[in-house]
Structure 1
Amino acid sequence: MTATGVGHIVDSIYNAGLDEKALSTLARRLAEYAGAQTATLSLHTCDIRAFLGLRDCLLAEAEIDYADQFLTQDVWRQAAKYMDSIGRTGPWARDGAAFKEVYQRLYLPLGDDSTFSLNALIATEHGVMSVATQRPTVNAPFSAADASKLQTLVPHLRRMQITRHRVQFLEAQASFARNALDCYAYPTLVILNDRHIVLANAAARAFLSRKESLFEQDGKLFAPQAGDARKLAAAVIKAQQGHEAGEARAAEIFRLGTGAPEDVRLIMSAMTGGKTILVILDDPAAPRISGTNLAELYGLTAAETALAEALLRGETIDTFADSRNVRMTTVRSQLSSVMRKTDTERQSQLVALLSRLPALTLREHSETKVFAAS
């Protein structure tokens, strides 16, 4: 096998860590590298303490380290006779049942004598990976040189397993986040500072697919009109600057197009850490929660409800105070009360909360009478 071949298999190992579909390519290249007919890789979840405990006991009894070593099938078969030792004092007696389960699930299949094989169990804190290469018995058995060649891959295979676990964890987190965003009736996205889209709910994906006010290209958020593109870029910068300055400021709010009431409005707010930005697309045609339901949901007064509705329309507290001929101190007091009742700490959080309310419906409450026996 050439150095290029070694590079190819190492590349395949790390590709498989990032993409489960690449495992089949890795298995094929591993078989070629080992001069085997077939190769299989299996990821096992197990009690890693039991696995390492059995390894330590077998090391003491058989003087063979069965973890992270490529060994031939006859060596794996030797482990069977030491399993009879279970029942003695010490860890064998204490953990015998767990040891047997690990042996039967992981060790036993590797001792199959119907083929020549060179196998390893590679352990990490997340579980154990079984790597098995086989060739027919009509061929020559695997040699010590074959084992040494595969042994050099163990550190890469261990890192692949750790990477695979992390990727699966992140995929699970992303799936949960997408499901959570799908609860928002308004199109909602999470983007990076360079406008790369990290997450988008179903409503946002449908909105972007129309390619009207905004669209997705190469994974980034774009506006088709030059003026809108400038507004979008400026709003991202302002949202980021507001976070860096530590300002408890309102979300950046602007309208696409000419700014007419019928144009789509964007609400943008930097999220915790400042590396991502929450973007809510407010289409005036989208249904809104009624003021009555809003008041009932959070126990708002009439004045507080009017303020909440104004913020949801994109008004500032200054314009709201002017339109109502109310002093700013009064409006700020009302805003503080609304934030307390909605359990929000920043105006941007309040706007984000209100923007998801069209997904909520309130059932009419029927009067319930309770009769007590006298």
Structure 2
Amino acid sequence: MGKLPAVASDGLFSELIEFGYRCAAEPSLWPEFIEQLVSRSGSRSGRMLVLNPTADEVLDSVKFNIDDAFHRQYVEYYVNLCPWRPELKRKQAGRFYSTYHDFSVPQRDFYHTEFFNDWAGPQDVHHGMLGTIAQSERETVQLLLQRTRQQGAYSPAETDAFNDLIPHLRRILKLGREFTRQRLVDAAALEAAQESPDPFLLLDQSARISYLSSEAQALIEACEPLRIQSQKLEVSGSSGRDLRRLIDSCLNASMGQWAQAGGSLRLSDPAGGSLIVTALPIHPDHPLLALERIGFVALFFHAPGRVPSLCWKTLRDVYGFTPAESSLAIQLVAGETLTAIAEQGGVSLNTIRSHLKSLFRKTGVGRQPELVMHLLSGPALRRSAVTPLKLS
């Protein structure tokens, strides 16, 4: 490959810029964008990295002409041994820098580093151009290009030409974030709709409402303990604290922390009616270079006026539940906690958990909220008509 042609950057990159804006709506095109960038710049290879705010952990990446094993080594270890990275943190974001001309590490010293001897040298990577494209409280986005010894260093004129790309790249990333968020909301809503026919809403990682079905909104408006304030769902009384704990556990689960996986609770009316809310973590697949990791919680509402219950005979005949297991299943669907069920039945919590594991095995699910949703949409569901109830 030769060096960057001596032409105006607008003429050199105009087609590439146009292609870049397609990447905002189609993230799968990013590898091709990096490939074109490498080719047009006379480079050996290139990478775009999405890192954490302190730029010492790679969250996502796209690359061209870098061996998978070497790239994995870089992500897991060498990213923090690159001799230019500490200085890059102190440099102004929104600009590219030549490793040969713009960093204080002399080339001869670079050749004596572990980074060069064990990672860059074996790939014939001698020169680089890199910069922080965008930075926020949640992530840092960097673009890196590499050249071999024969291809030579990136000159100041070449670096200036590449800096004309930065404003476009920042706008592309911003548009991509907006497209991705809407795509994830749509995917999460579809996933939730497939879990249960009950009305539902979606909360994002900030516990803000991202999606609200009209049926769920009507139920919330008819239930005094519930209200929507500034795109957040609020619940008064002790039930509010319980619901917040459920939401927090689901948010952690949806972002990959699986210690808790949601559950159900019952909002009671003084007259004896109830509204059951079931929380379930939803985690749709994130597209390539998703600049924001988004998890969701789906809250399903079982409508007042139709009290859900389960048929003992069907639980026995269809699932093979024992009487103790059937009793546990019915109480879980009614929104009772494991602790409350154990106390009411005068048995240990370990006994209840043993029954729960048996329910999981017999229904083929692995989590408590999935069990509730499975039973509420299965053949054992029996709804008894009662006088329409409005919680107030």
More helix by share: 1
Higher relative contact order (CA 8 A, sep 6+): 2
**Higher Cα Rg: structure 1 or 2?**
1
TM-score by shorter chain over 0.5: no
- Under a length normalisation based on structure 1, what TM-score does the superposition of the two structures give? 0.45
Higher strand share goes to which structure? Answer: 2
